[in-house]
Amino acid sequence: MPIKSLIRTIPHYPKQGVQFRDITTLLKDPLGFRMVIDALAQHYANHKIDKIAGIEARGFIIGAALAYKLGVGFVPVRKSGKLPAETIGHDYALEYGADRVEIHTDAVVEGERVLLVDDLIATGGTAEAAVALLQKLKADVVGCAFVINLPDLGGSQRLTNAGVVPFSLCEFEGD
């Protein structure tokens, strides 16, 4: 069963013209969810990874399960004001405005090899901001893993141009 077949498309959400790729249908399917985690774990099995960093919120689900499977720690990358201890943040532009992601200053130590995980790569702004945070903490970002890539929106190319290797399990063209 292809992972892509378990992802629901919701037309015109959250606004007209957007094809929203909803992974909740994938997550509720026990075989599909297992396939995602196993495929990512297999892809990264020969990489030395110390921690998984997951982007809020769906990156927490995929990232935490992958961290468990690989036997490594998990680090949350959150929206501004959500983490209780000392943080550093990175502001980034959105299509209509700006946002900020933060990470605890003690989340990683210098030289740790970190894999960044999220459910989807679209324009790449959030992932690029999360990479910048990890690099500020002097982590070695070994790659970025996604369930879905929307290549027409340029995010994976943006990460590649920034020197980080993106990997995804499926693509949706024309978004």
Enumerate the active-site residues: 58, 95
Per the DSSP assignment, residues forming a β-bridge with 100 are 91
Contact (CB, 8 A) for 134 and 106: no
| Cβ neighbours of residue 145 closer than 8 Å, sequence gap 6 or more | 40, 43, 44, 62, 66, 115, 116, 117, 118, 166, 167, 168
